[in-house]
Amino acid sequence: MPRYDFDLDVLPVSFDIYQALALETAQYPNVGENIEYPTLGLCGEAGELANKVKKIQRDCDGIFAVNMKIALIKELGDVLWYCAAIAHEIGIDLATVAAANIASLSDRKERDVIKGDGDDR
């Protein structure tokens, strides 16, 4: 694994532990009663992630050098933070979100409907 400029010795971190630690840093209006703030934050961070990928395509011929991967890891972390906050706002733990998603994907795969569109395929 390449060397990064942050400590990865804390791995692995469960979703439950991550969510608890992430929420210790939550500083936005009415934490626990404000789904709008983290939802808008998620949109912004997803846009930042997409913009970095776009620039890698444009400026680096799509080659993900270590410094680019570090930038993406940081953006993905921001996305994950907002996912944890949104889950908290609706009273759900992130591990439940992850498990529900895997169950849904497994069901789609079993029914051969991974491709396509629609929330309830």
pLDDT digits (tens, 9 = 90+) for 95-110: 999 999 999 999 999 9
b/e string for 84-114 if b means 16 or more Cβ within 10 A?
Answer: bbbbbbeeeebeebeeeeeeeeeeeeeeeee
Which DSSP category does 94 fall into?
H
97 DSSP assignment: H
The number of residues in the chain equals 121
Domains and CATH numbers, the chain: 15-110 (1.10.287.1080)
Q: What pLDDT score was predicted for residue 5?
A: 61
Identity of the residue numbered 84? A
For the cut 90, the answer to whether the pLDDT of residue 1 exceeds it is: no
pLDDT value at position 83? 98
pLDDT tens digits, 45-89: 999 999 999 999 999 999 999 999 999 999 999 999 999 999 999
